[in-house]
């Protein structure tokens, strides 16, 4: 499998960890201040309590909330350059063909790759982001496939009934029950010990930035099929 970027990814993850920690502490402190002042307001407004100026406490709550939201907006602005998809038009069928070929050449864990790549209209997108998305989807499929059964991944491109470009990724993994399926793309949800549970969430976020939709079909013991659709005529 082609790794995400073995030289950049560790530093990026480390930077992300520091940034998340800083933003997290700031937001937690802001919420703590909001809750504390709201509790104070409730106590002081109780019958028999010492009179206070409720407007001053309300102003403090508002200012704290606005400050926390400003930090979140700055984080979004900071990441915007790497989350925009640009105006390039990509042939998704060719991108998938190149991706699978690279994985076959680097294969070391006996996964069988199959493709059915119908020519499809080009979509607006960023190739590196889409390859990163595929890495995350494929890694999730690998982890779901045990060594005691056939390990296969099938990718196909076609047009659906609306004329939208459709990409399907199918694996022969253990599948998901309805409880896990409902939470599959939820951030930090994982059934695997030691996993953060962000892979599918990040991949879905990349596809959504490309104005695409994702649906998942899965049954325990029957593998999983991801269906990604996008309107090629979209902006």
Asked whether residue 119 falls in the same domain as residue 207, the answer is yes
Question: What residues make up the domain containing 169?
Answer: 89-230
Tokens describing residue 29: 């402190």
Asked whether residue 65 falls in the same domain as residue 42, the answer is yes
The kind and range of the H/E element at 168 are: strand 165-171
Average pLDDT over residues 151-168: 95
Q: In this structure, is residue 3 part of a structural domain?
A: no
- The mean-pLDDT minimum among 68-82, 126-140, 184-198 falls in 68-82
Would you say residue 15 has pLDDT above 60? no
Instruction: Find the DSSP H helices in 45-196.
Output: 54-83, 92-105, 127-144, 178-182
Residue 21 is given by DSSP the state: H
Distance linking the first and last C-alpha atoms of the chain: 32
Structure confidence at residue 1 (pLDDT): 40
Asked whether residue 163 falls in the same domain as residue 72, the answer is no
Name residue 225's beta-bridge partners.
Answer: 170, 217
**122 with 90: CB under 8 angstroms?**
yes
Q: What percent of the chain has pLDDT over 90?
A: 34
Q: Helix, strand, or coil here: 211?
A: coil
Q: Kindly report the CATH number assigned to the domain that includes residue 114.
A: 3.30.565.10
Which tens digit of pLDDT belongs to each residue from 190-233? 777 666 677 888 888 889 989 999 999 999 988 999 999 999 98
- The mean-pLDDT minimum among 3-17, 22-36, 133-147, 151-165 falls in 3-17
Angstrom distance (rounded) from CA 77 to CA 216: 31
Place of tokens 């790794």: 3
- Whole-number CA gyration radius for the chain: 23
Structure confidence at residue 86 (pLDDT): 77
Structure confidence at residue 155 (pLDDT): 97
| Nearest Cα to Cα of residue 215 among 180, 181, 173 | 181
């Amino acid at each position: 499998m082609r790794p995400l970027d073995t030289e950049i990814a560790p530093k990026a993850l480390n930077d992300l960890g520091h940034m998340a920690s800083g933003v997290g502490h700031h937001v937690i402190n802001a919420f703590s201040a909001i809750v504390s002042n709201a509790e104070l307001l409730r106590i002081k407004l109780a019958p028999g309590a010492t009179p206070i100026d409720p407007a001053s406490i309300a102003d403090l709550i508002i200012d704290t909330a606005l400050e926390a939201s400003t930090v979140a907006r700055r984080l979004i602005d900071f990441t915007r350059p790497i989350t925009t998809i640009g105006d390039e038009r990509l042939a998704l069928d060719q991108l998938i063909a190149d991706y699978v070929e690279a994985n076959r050449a680097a294969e070391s864990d006996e996964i069988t790759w199959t493709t059915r790549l119908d020519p499809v209209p080009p979509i607006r997108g960023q190739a590196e982001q889409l390859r990163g998305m595929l890495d995350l989807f494929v890694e999730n499929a690998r982890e779901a496939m045990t060594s005691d059964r056939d390990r296969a991944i099938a990718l196909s491109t076609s047009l659906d009934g609306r004329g939208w470009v459709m990409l399907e990724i199918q694996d022969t993994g253990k599948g998901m029950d309805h409880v896990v399926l409902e939470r599959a793309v939820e951030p930090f949800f994982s059934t695997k010990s030691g996993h953060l549970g962000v892979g599918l969430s990040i991949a879905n976020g990349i596809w959504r930035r490309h104005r695409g939709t994702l649906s998942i079909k899965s049954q325990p013991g029957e593998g999983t099929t991801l269906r990604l659709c996008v309107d090629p005529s979209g902006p």
